[in-house]
Structure 1
């Protein structure tokens, strides 16, 4: 994680800077004494993550240098020191960055050996990191290019930490079907060419073609936290199933039964997930809708109505406000059907479409007990919304058949509609019965822990979905 800090802020930001005064010199252009300060750096409690970030670039920033890499350590003490000028009366601002990077790279080759009986080859690359004990760890494998002695492989991205533990001169080994070569990140980013070595050949015949780097670009990676720190707003939207398959709310067996001694599953899910998202929602306002109910006064069925009964302002204050509106809704509507997701998804997409600049991100939480009756329209709505700053979390309540939800989830295969593939996987499904099994027989304190586990499980994919939107649209933290 990149944390830009001023020198005087270093200790509070988990950085330590120790200065040692050296003998003063004199800078005639400044007409004041210039002292030399030697900085020693250490960090503590670094984020344990594979993707770090950078701060906004500035033409006025000059890189003084880099420390050495310390592997697998969240509390590093760096040996390398930096000597800088100190001028009394002049404000000196320093920025310290702790980061990881990713490498975007593409390889090509020419004049490779013929290995197939028909005089061609099917080459591919395998890239291995060299470990401290000289063992090799496979970190990437390219696609196979069929019947080609001059292949061009597709470009790919790899974390610099994964490739070489952030050490630009650490050796890596690239194997292919025909031979191998060794290199380093420093060489790769310079666009070098490499002779492919075939260990089975002798003397001058040992070469088996040439591998070239077409493009190599090192990029800093922004994290979810970077965007949150720079005021990207997270908005929680809630849609609740009021179809009659839930059972009459006055029946103790109903999924919507309100028992003063025990919250129903809808309430538990909204409390557990909503309370976590609320920490990232600065205005504390939750748009909340219901679907599948007959509304007063004429009993017309609605598949997207505001829980607070205010069509022009469906926002509830805090998650408690949502729960109050939910309970009030149960008293004024009649459960009906069918179960349609598309109207609420389209409503959420409409809000997200107004904020595509990275300033806001939306999470739609759908709580449902039944099988989707508008699967085609739901797929259409999700594929259409996949280009927007939106994630959809579906929580299945009760013991219905939720197989269709796995299709929407898109983990195994990207969702499509009429041949059009979703730009991003934006849906996650969670079966609430798994949570109920987990908390069964546990004490009240342990049940609280279970709620935290539930929220973590349900929200696990959101940061990745969030970053996929920001990266796809080239949106940097704080640029709005």
Structure 2
């Protein structure tokens, strides 16, 4: 079986966050804190990963929002936490702290307490628990109801119940799901939902997880525990237990939780399709349009000066990544937009598409080094000319993909190019119309442009109604990036795109 890079083998951590003894910035009540999380790799630009919900009037919040981050053991991954007080006038800074993912995982139970600083003064502490997950294609879909729940609201109301689900990880219960709450109902029926077995019990059917029933109070503040119980997947599915007594914190029954319907779900993943015989063919297109500059000039992206040639470096790095998907390491190599003067393919006019081998019947080279050699040997035989038009390249790729649709062959197409595409609308329409074909299209941007229009292609795809499959990826090439990171960034979406084609 062919050896492929499989990003489904990557590990994720989920971060569970709380704070203690935060400074109170209010006069007549308590602060309403929320947290923002920022992430960065050494030498890379910091990214905003999101924010938690606001904890009303609470200086010791346990935030329910969690964060999922891919974990790379060989890299320094920095997390920066900022906490703000939300008020009617906006927000006020409460403090910040930072830590690496590796440092969290090295602490006992992957649980760390960090000092928060506000303008260089102590401002409480942040508690961060990291749970390490692997990708999983096993999940359960089920629906729960409550029967004769204890009324927590006295004679003037009824319980507003909801459920929380907890994973037990290294001595700590971590909340991994929460249902909606149902107003004034002692016999509620919650909506059906699906949860991964990896998140529920680390795929261990005998590992206990906890379900807690709570009574929701106004704005979610000071919610009251009705009762809880622990169970396992083995107990529910193999022993067919579907009713559980809720036990109050101080003992005694608080009603029954019943499973109305349940089913196991297995979704094939990237590995499954590889094992079923899926093979890959690789096509790389290189932009030779005039916007790259004349190669005889040192500032050209195609400059003859080898150490300054960004296309040469990008092709070398990218070919090394994608060649592993073909057991024979075959790469079809094309030029996009120029005037080729090869011994076996000589044109006196602008060509939107041409093989760097000079042979349309045999456009493939073997492996990264032959791809680099072909680029270098043909560079002085190409007249940089015209605009970047991608229509013919994408149509060619889609024709190949359509031809291979019934053969378990999936096409990986890569465009290495600058920003200025003159037929962008045509490109967008082609990508939208070809989303059911067995191929992925990766645009690798070279140069210092912002690539705003190309980045918006993903937004365009994701805004379609009804939703459609997204098989397009944009990546801006950075020559200083380690090859391991390039591999992860470039191919991060590929497994999902292969799986989504088959589903």
Aligned to 1:249: 295
For 1:399, what is the secondary structure of its paired residue?
A: coil
Runs (5+) with no aligned partner, structure 2: 1-8, 13-104, 106-134, 216-225
How far is the alpha carbon of 1:452 from its aligned partner? 4.5
1:187 counterpart (235, 255, 258)? 235
Alignment of 1:174 with 2:211, yes or no, is yes
Closer, same or farther: CA 268–124 of 1 in aligned 2, 3 Å = farther
Matched-pair contact (CA < 8 Å) for 2:246–2:257: no
Q: Quote how far apart the aligned CAs of 1:427 are.
A: 2.9
CA distance 1:369–1:115, change in 2 (3 Å): farther
Number of the residue aligned with 2:108: none
Cα gap change, 1:102/1:317 in structure 2, threshold over 3 Å: closer, same or farther? same
Matches within 5 A, 1:66-465: 102-109=138-145, 125-131=163-169, 133=171, 135-142=172-179, 151=189, 153-160=191-198, 162-178=199-215, 179=226, 180-190=228-238, 192-195=241-244, 197=246, 199=248, 206-207=254-255, 210-217=257-264, 219=266, 222=269, 224=271, 227-228=273-274, 231-260=277-306, 262=307, 264-294=309-339, 299-327=348-376, 329-356=378-405, 359-408=408-457, 410=458, 415-416=461-462, 419=465, 421-424=467-470, 426-432=471-477, 434-436=478-480, 438=481, 450-465=482-497
Deviations 1:323-360 (A, max 9, x none): 34434554444333433334323322222223335732
User: CA offset at residue 221 of structure 1?
Assistant: 5.8
Name the residue aligned to 2:37: none
Separation in 2, partners of 1:304, 1:243: 11
1:248 match: secondary structure:
coil
In structure 1, C-alpha distance between the alignment counterparts of 2:184 and 2:348, rounded to whole Å: 67
For residues 285 and 371 of structure 2, the distance between their equivalents in structure 1, rounded to whole angstroms, comes to: 10
Question: 1:364–1:183: structure 2 CA closer, same or farther, 3 Å change rule?
Answer: same
> Which has more strand, going by share of residues?
2
Shift of 1:121: 8.8
Distance 2:407 2:177 in 1: 31
Q: 1:163 to 1:315 in 2, by over 3 A?
A: same
Give, in whole Å, the separation in 1 of the partners of 2:163 and 2:390: 45
Judge conservation of contact 1:379–1:416 (CA < 8 Å) in 2.
Answer: no
Q: Could you tell me how far 1:218 is from its partner in structure 2?
A: 5.3
- Using the alignment, how far apart are the partners of 2:188 and 2:167 within structure 1? 25
Residues 187 and 367 of structure 1: CA distance in aligned 2, closer, same or farther (over 3 Å): same
Aligned residues: 355
Root mean square deviation of aligned Cα:
4.0
